[in-house]
Homo-oligomer: A and B are copies of this chain.
Amino acid sequence: MKSNKFLAIYNELCKQIKSGELKPHEKIPSENVLSEQYETSRETIRKALNLLSQNGFIQKVKGKGSIVLDVRKFSFPVSGLVSFKELSKTMGQPSQTIVHEFGLVRPDSFIKKQLNISSKDEIWRVIRARQIEGEKIILDKDFLLKKHVPLLTKEICEDSIFQYLENDLNLKISFAKKEIVVENCTEEDQQYLDLEDFQHIVVVKNYVYLDDTSLFQYTESRHRLDKFRFVDFARRGH
């Protein structure tokens, strides 16, 4: 781990809020007090508090102080970048992944357009069904550029592609564009999912970028209508 002072302070305050040591609607100590407590400058404290504010833990009010928000109301932060494995872990539900298709292929015209590549590039194509509480309700279709991911195995796909990329390949994922739309079910959806009578499906399209700003992965996460939920915490103004 790095030794970021402001991150350490953020984590400590974060923990205190989650544990209830700092209660909702109460004020946290002022920036001046905190800078003495932590023996650091005020700007460093402010960095930590701004992080807390961005992530919905506190609300800063000019002239008054910083108030703790009711985190329970904002729980389940599906917003941002999270992998299915991280998600199912925090939700505490038993889940299972079934790899249906896996291989190295040439891109078809659709993928060429999505990833903005030529026919010469090879890509990993993975199709997985996600089962939660006995029902197959999510179909994940991943397309990764071989250029950035030389090796991929079925075993990795059964665990977490995401963890493999970050931990083993040490690829730094920096940002993603996410798009949510509703589409008609395909035969593929019907084949791999427990769709009941639903005729539509919620599709989350993810365009994932690396640290050097290169687009390297396109993912479609297809959710059964009744099981889909997306939560976002948004701040107004800056």
Interface residues of A (CB under 8 A from B): 7, 25, 51, 56, 59, 61, 67, 69, 73-74, 79-81, 173-182, 198, 200, 202, 207, 209, 211-213, 225-226, 228-238
Contact = CB atoms under 8 A, between A and B. Distances in A.
Given A182-B202, A200-B225, A236-B80, A61 B212 contact: yes
A231 B204 CA distance: 10
Contact of A236 (B67, B81, B229): B81
Nearest to A197: B199
A231 B174 contact: no
Assembly of this chain: how many copies? 2
Nearest to A202: B182
Contact of A229 (B180, B212, B231): B180
Nearest to A208: B236
A7 B80 CA distance: 25
Given A7-B238, A173-B236, A178 B231 contact: yes
